[in-house]
């Protein structure tokens, strides 16, 4: 008995030695590392901290901003060029407080305004993963391409003081109510915190701050934003351009597979699905869907769109010979069909599409010009793609077909002009329009 007691005491001493002075578990705690990996997926850390063709988390990805290009940093545990010498406190300071180890403020391209809502326990799991579950990569960080005086860091401290929320010390209090409050709270936590959905899906103010960080801040939250020439769609309950016509199941399927009966992921969202949301548990995807469906619409008086068969009949019988109709028949109808209904989970429908009916036609123009590709996921491995038409269609021709699509089959989108197309063509680096 005495011997067993000594062995047990020694084992406890060894176990306690496996924890660092700051209370963080050593590499042997496989469960915490696994949890941290899952949370890094939820936060999509790899998307920004991995350059195209580069090694995971080694940084170097150029992120365009109105001030210039910001390059993501190396967050592998390399001790010379990465975060290998970071304590947990250093890591937490960067992730949730927006401050580097030496005290300077980070650019809000790092979504610390959302990560401020991540609990300390989850930050500890993330730290364990990045310290013990990620391969160290020796790769120097790049300086920004932002010119002086805009490159000065002190204004970022003021920005952070003005716009960053308080960092939580535990699970945040919430006044959410519903049949399954725990599911709602989990969805809110993922959407507002690690998922940092508002970073793209919320419009920004004159100081480039998000106009709302939660639904409590107003209906601007998740009402849509423009990122790198793509419209990050309205995720609220609006029937025309939001998620009003989507069910909870539609949202969960979209996040899991990158497509559903309404739409397909494109642009930056395709990478989000591929790198992040397809790896989340069904319970977490359902929680996200439940929370998003709880958000009221911006326009509460809007009427649901109704399908109109007349355009499809006019196309089939050849009665509509307008420029937009002919451009659609010659370039689009083979996949999206004269009915505008496409082919379920293969070629997205255009009729009653929230992307098509968005007030800002940027995404639709962008897709016509440059094309797009669905993500390849475990649930839907075939990555269908649409070719770009920038090399074969003039600005007027693109405007004609986009206007036709936005006004057909019951769609109520406003007309698009050639000058609208010319702007998007320039912004997204599309080919020059062909001479006619």
Q: What is the pLDDT of residue 83?
A: 97
Residue 396 lies in a domain: yes
Same domain, 316 and 414: yes
- Beta strand spans in 189-299 (E): 225-227, 230-232
Same domain, 138 and 53: yes
Q: What is the pLDDT of residue 226?
A: 86
Q: Are 263 and 367 in contact (CB under 8 A)?
A: no
Mean pLDDT, rounded, for 260-272 = 93
Mean pLDDT, rounded, for 186-208 = 95
Q: Are 374 and 335 in contact (CB under 8 A)?
A: no
Omega of the bond leading into 192 within 30 degrees of 0 (cis): no
Whole-angstrom CA distances from 353 to 89, 177, 338 are 46, 30, 15
Q: Which among 91, 123, 144 is the end of a domain?
A: 144
Q: How far is CA 223 from the centre of its chain?
A: 14
How wide is the angle at C-alpha 268 spanned by C-alphas 265 and 273, nearest 5°?
50
Q: Which two tokens stand for residue 422?
A: 């010319």
pLDDT, one tens digit per residue, over 367-380 is 999 999 999 999 99
* Distance, first Cα to last Cα, the chain: 95
Residue 216 lies in a domain: yes
Q: What is the pLDDT of residue 178?
A: 65
Residue 328 lies in a domain: yes
Q: Are 327 and 386 in contact (CB under 8 A)?
A: no
Mean pLDDT, rounded, for 179-185 = 87
Mean pLDDT, rounded, for 82-106 = 95
Same domain, 109 and 188: no
- Residue 317 belongs to domain with CATH number: 1.10.760.10
Cα–Cα distance measured from residue 74 to residue 409, given in angstroms and rounded to the nearest whole number: 49
Q: 212 falls in which pLDDT band (50, 70, 90)?
A: very high
Count of domains for the chain: 3
Q: Which long-range contacts does 387-392 make (Cβ < 8 Å, 24+ apart)?
A: 388/430, 388/431, 389/331, 390/425, 390/430, 390/431, 390/433, 391/431, 391/434, 392/434
Eight-class DSSP state of 294: T
Mean pLDDT, rounded, for 114-143 = 96
Same domain, 126 and 73: yes
- Residue 49 belongs to domain with CATH number: 1.10.760
Same domain, 243 and 139: no
Burial 88-106 (b: 16+ CB within 10 A, else e): bebbbbbbbbbbeeeeebb
Q: Which two tokens stand for residue 230?
A: 């793509």
User: Of all residues in the chain, what percent carry a pLDDT higher than 90?
Assistant: 80
Q: Are 239 and 246 in contact (CB under 8 A)?
A: no
User: Residue 226 in 3-state DSSP?
Assistant: strand
Same domain, 421 and 329: yes
Same domain, 235 and 345: no
Mean pLDDT, rounded, for 292-319 = 94
Cα–Cα distance measured from residue 91 to residue 39, given in angstroms and rounded to the nearest whole number: 15
Residue 140 lies in a domain: yes
Cα–Cα distance measured from residue 431 to residue 436, given in angstroms and rounded to the nearest whole number: 15
Residue 168 lies in a domain: no
Q: 269 falls in which pLDDT band (50, 70, 90)?
A: very high
**Does the reported pTM lie above 0.85?**
yes
Residue whose C-alpha is closest to residue 106's, from 114, 117, 118, 97 = 97
Write the Ramachandran bin of 13: left for phi over 0, alpha for psi from -120 to 50, otherwise beta.
alpha
Residue whose C-alpha is closest to residue 339's, from 279, 274, 416, 405 = 405
Q: Which residues pair with 227 in a beta bridge?
A: 230
pLDDT, one tens digit per residue, over 30-49 is 999 999 999 999 999 999 99
Better-predicted residue by pLDDT, 154 or 397: 397
Q: What is the pLDDT of residue 213?
A: 96
Q: Which among 144, 163, 197 is the end of a domain?
A: 144
Mean pLDDT, rounded, for 288-309 = 95
Q: Would the pLDDT of 303 be above 80? A: yes
Burial grade of 247 (CB within 10 A; 0-12, 13-18, 19 or more) = middle
Residue 280 lies in a domain: yes
Residue 304 lies in a domain: no
Same domain, 38 and 112: yes
Mean pLDDT, rounded, for 354-366 = 93
Q: Which among 125, 144, 163 is the end of a domain?
A: 144
Same domain, 273 and 359: no
Same domain, 37 and 115: yes
Would you tell me how many other CB atoms lie within 10 Å of the CB of residue 271?
14
Same domain, 318 and 414: yes
Q: What is the pLDDT of residue 149?
A: 77
Q: What is the pLDDT of residue 308?
A: 96
Range of the domain at 200: 181-293
Whole-angstrom CA distances from 116 to 53, 91, 224, 306 are 30, 13, 22, 42
Q: What is the pLDDT of residue 2?
A: 37
pLDDT, one tens digit per residue, over 330-339 is 999 999 999 9
Residue 210 lies in a domain: yes
Same domain, 195 and 225: yes
């Amino acid at each position: 008995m005495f011997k067993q007691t000594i062995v047990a005491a020694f084992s406890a001493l060894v176990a306690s030695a496996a924890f660092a002075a700051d209370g963080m578990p050593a590499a042997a705690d496989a469960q915490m590392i696994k949890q941290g990996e899952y949370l890094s997926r939820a936060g999509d850390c790899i998307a920004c901290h991995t350059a195209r063709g580069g090694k995971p988390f080694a940084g170097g990805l150029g992120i365009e901003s109105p001030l210039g290009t910001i390059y993501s940093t190396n967050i592998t545990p390399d001790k010379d060029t990465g975060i290998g010498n970071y304590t947990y406190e250093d890591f937490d300071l960067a992730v949730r407080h927006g401050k580097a180890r030496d005290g300077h403020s980070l650019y809000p391209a790092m979504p610390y305004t959302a990560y401020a809502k991540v609990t300390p326990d989850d930050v500890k799991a993330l730290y364990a993963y990045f310290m013990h579950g990620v391969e160290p990569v020796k790769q120097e960080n790049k300086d920004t391409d932002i010119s002086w005086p805009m490159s000065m860091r002190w204004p970022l401290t003021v920005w952070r003081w003005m716009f960053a929320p308080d960092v939580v010390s535990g699970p945040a209090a919430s006044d959410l109510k519903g049949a399954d409050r725990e599911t709602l709270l989990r969805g809110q936590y993922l959407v507002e915190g690690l998922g940092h959905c508002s970073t793209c899906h919320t419009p920004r103010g004159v100081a480039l701050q998000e106009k709302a960080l939660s639904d409590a801040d107003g209906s601007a939250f998740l009402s849509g934003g423009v990122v790198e020439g793509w419209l990050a769609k309205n995720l609220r309950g609006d029937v025309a351009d939001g998620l009003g016509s989507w069910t909870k199941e539609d949202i969960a399927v979209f996040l899991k597979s990158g497509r559903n009966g309404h739409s397909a992921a494109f642009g930056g969202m395709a990478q989000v699905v591929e790198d992040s949301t397809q790896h989340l548990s069904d319970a977490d995807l359902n929680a996200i869907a439940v929370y998003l469906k709880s958000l009221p619409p911006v326009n509460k008086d809007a009427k649901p769109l109704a399908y109109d068969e007349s355009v499809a009949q006019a196309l089939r019988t050849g009665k509509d010979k307008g420029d937009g109709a002919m451009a659609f028949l010659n370039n689009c109808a083979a996949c999206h069909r004269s009915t505008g209904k496409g082919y379920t989970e293969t070629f997205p429908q255009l009729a009653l599409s929230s992307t098509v009916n968005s007030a800002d036609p940027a995404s639709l123009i962008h897709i016509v010009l440059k094309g797009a590709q669905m993500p390849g996921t475990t649930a839907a491995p075939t990555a269908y793609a649409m070719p770009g038409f920038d090399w074969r269609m003039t600005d007027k021709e693109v405007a004609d077909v986009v206007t036709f699509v936005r006004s057909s089959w019951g769609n109520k989108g406003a007309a698009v002009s050639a000058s609208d197309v010319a702007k998007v063509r320039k912004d997204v680096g599309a080919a020059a329009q062909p001479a006619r």
